[in-house]
Every structure is written in C-alpha cells, then in structure tokens.
Amino acid sequence: MHFTPKKIALGIVIVIEVIIFCVLIQWQFRGRVLNTVHVKQQSTATVFIPGFGGNAASTNDFINQYSWHNVATKSLRIYISKKNHISTMKQYHPIVKNNPMVQLIFQDDLHPHRQAAQMIYAMHYLYKKYHIKKVNFIGHSSGGNIAFDYMIHNPHAKQVPTPVKLVTIGANYAPNDPLVKNLPKGLHILNIAGEIYNSKTDGEVPNKIVKPMGKLVRKHVGKYRYYVYSSNPMSAEHSMLHENPSLDKIIAEFLWNNEYPAGSEK
C-alpha cells in the first residue's frame, strides 16, 4: 500500500484526535471517586489558597468537585488587593452548617511572604462580615507556606477564625523556624507529597524537602501526618495535584471525617 504525505498527515491527525478523546473521557469521569464520599456537614469554613502565581483557576477544580458531589458548598470568592483591601467578588451560598468553602484570590500572587502578611486582613474580614469562627486551610505549593506563615506570625490575633486543620500539598518549610512554637496547639496537619510513579518527586518538589515538615511541627500541634500520593503524571505531577479527585477524596475524609489516609506517617 502506498502512503502519500497527505494520508500520513491525516493518519497522524486521527491518532491525535483519538488520544485527546480518550483523555477527555477519562477526565470527565475521574470525579466519580467522590460519589462514595459521605462527610459530616459543619460550619467550619475551608479556605483555599493558591500557590505561586496562582489564581481562581488554581483552586476551581478542587472547589467545583466538592460542590458537584455535595461534599462541601461553594460559598465565597474573596479578593485581596495589593493595598490590603478585602472584598467579596462573589457570594454563592450563605455560610451555614454546609461545609462552606472560601476561595482566596490575591492581586499580588508572586510574593508568598507578603501574601502571608495579608492573610490577617482576610481573616478579620471573614470573622466580622460572615461570622466565621473556625477555618481549615488548604494550600497548594506556596499556598501551604502562606497559611503556615500566617499562623506562626499571628498567634495572639483577635477577632479572627481559629485554625482547625491544615492541608499542605507539595510545599517545603524552613527546617528550624523558631516561630513554629506559635502554631495552634490543637491544629491537625496533613502534609501531602506527590510522587510520579516511584521517582520520589512530583516533578518539581522532591519528597525529601516535603517530609521534614514533620520534624518541625510534631511537638507543637495536636496531630500530624505525612502522606505520599504516588501515581502517573496526569495525577501526581505538581500542578496536577490540585486537579485530582482521588486526592480530593483523601483530603475530604481528613477535613470532615477526621480520617487519615492509609499509609500516612506520623
């Protein structure tokens, strides 16, 4: 059979389209793992913090998956300006006993230390305007550092929600930070590292710089676990960790059912 350049090009296009179709089908149904998740409904708000250069797209999948599967409720999108002005971009649902979720959007999304300093204004805002008394934090990459730095620098802040749980994904921490003693004593932490197959890295952040958080915080918080999520690049690569319903399930069971993943380490 004679293959002309035109036929070869057409064949390549068809193969690419088939691959894209298969990926889209897998992507569409990947959220089914959350169908079996049943959690307690609470008034504690869960605050989503994006990583370096992150915006709404960074945490949309997290929030939408939980909302679509009735695990938690998409409640607020909060904007933090460079001048520390806090405003509500959108209120989707009232803050009640429905596992409310709050999405933070920083105008300056490139300076984690500055963003951590701005968190106090956002927390005051949530406390005063929406009467939120308790929060969980979910931070991807430097988003975890932002939540962590906020807590260690504001141990005596008044009129802010009390941090209950922290989920940190693919982040690293200074190994000898003396301010770690300021973490809330009852805080529960789930520290997650991504691992592409058995490479001991998520492609950007090696596990060896994620794991040491345990040594830093164990003596200062109520409970700590370290968990390695190992899978293929579509699931475990650094930027895909917050687009992964299987990981969403693990996090949901930790946040709202107090369940730690099997295989997690103290």
Q: Which pLDDT tens digits describe the chain residue by residue (266 residues)?
A: 566 766 566 666 666 665 555 444 555 556 788 999 999 999 999 999 999 999 999 999 999 999 999 999 999 999 999 999 999 999 999 999 999 999 999 999 999 999 999 999 999 999 999 999 999 999 999 999 999 999 999 999 999 999 999 999 999 998 889 999 999 999 999 999 999 999 999 999 999 999 999 999 999 999 999 999 999 998 999 999 988 999 999 999 999 999 999 989 98
Evaluate whether residue 263 is within a structural domain. Answer: no
Q: Could you tell me if 56 and 17 lie in one domain?
A: no
Residues 6 or more apart in contact with residue 168 via CB below 8 angstroms: 139, 144, 145, 147, 148, 189, 190, 191, 192, 213
CATH of the domain at 152: 3.40.50.1820
pTM of the model: 0.90
Evaluate whether residue 12 is within a structural domain. Answer: yes
Q: Could you tell me if 116 and 57 lie in one domain?
A: yes
Kindly list the distances between the CA atom of residue 223 and the CA atoms of 106, 123, 208, 212, 258, in Å, as whole numbers in the listed order.
Answer: 29, 23, 21, 15, 11
Evaluate whether residue 138 is within a structural domain. Answer: yes
Evaluate whether residue 264 is within a structural domain. Answer: no
Kindly list the distances between the CA atom of residue 21 and the CA atoms of 16, 17, 192, in Å, as whole numbers in the listed order.
Answer: 9, 6, 31
Instruction: Specify the pLDDT at position 17.
Output: 61
Q: Which tokens in the block code for residue 56?
A: 């709404």
Number of domains present in the structure of the chain:
2
Q: Could you tell me if 112 and 146 lie in one domain?
A: yes
Q: Could you tell me if 99 and 26 lie in one domain?
A: no
Residues 6 or more apart in contact with residue 186 via CB below 8 angstroms: 164, 221, 222
Q: Could you tell me if 116 and 12 lie in one domain?
A: no
Residue 266 near residue 229, CB atoms below 8 Å: no
Q: Could you tell me if 17 and 101 lie in one domain?
A: no
Can you give the residue range of the structural domain that contains 239?
A: 39-257
Q: Could you tell me if 183 and 54 lie in one domain?
A: yes
Residue 116 near residue 138, CB atoms below 8 Å: no
Q: Could you tell me if 189 and 226 lie in one domain?
A: yes
Evaluate whether residue 262 is within a structural domain. Answer: no
Q: Using CA atoms, how far apart are residues 224 and 155, in angstroms rounded to an integer?
A: 19
| Cα dihedral 180/184/190/194 (nearest 10) | -40
Q: Could you tell me if 59 and 118 lie in one domain?
A: yes
Q: Using CA atoms, how far apart are residues 15 and 101, in angstroms rounded to an integer?
A: 41
Q: Using CA atoms, how far apart are residues 266 and 252, in angstroms rounded to an integer?
A: 19
The residue behind tokens 């693919």 is 170
Evaluate whether residue 246 is within a structural domain. Answer: yes
Q: Which tokens in the block code for residue 162?
A: 């009390």
Q: Could you tell me if 12 and 44 lie in one domain?
A: no
Instruction: Specify the pLDDT at position 7.
Output: 57
- Is the alpha carbon torsion for 219, 43, 109, 194 positive or negative? positive
Q: Could you tell me if 51 and 142 lie in one domain?
A: yes
Q: Could you tell me if 186 and 96 lie in one domain?
A: yes
Kindly list the distances between the CA atom of residue 174 and the CA atoms of 125, 179, 206, 216, in Å, as whole numbers in the listed order.
Answer: 29, 10, 15, 8
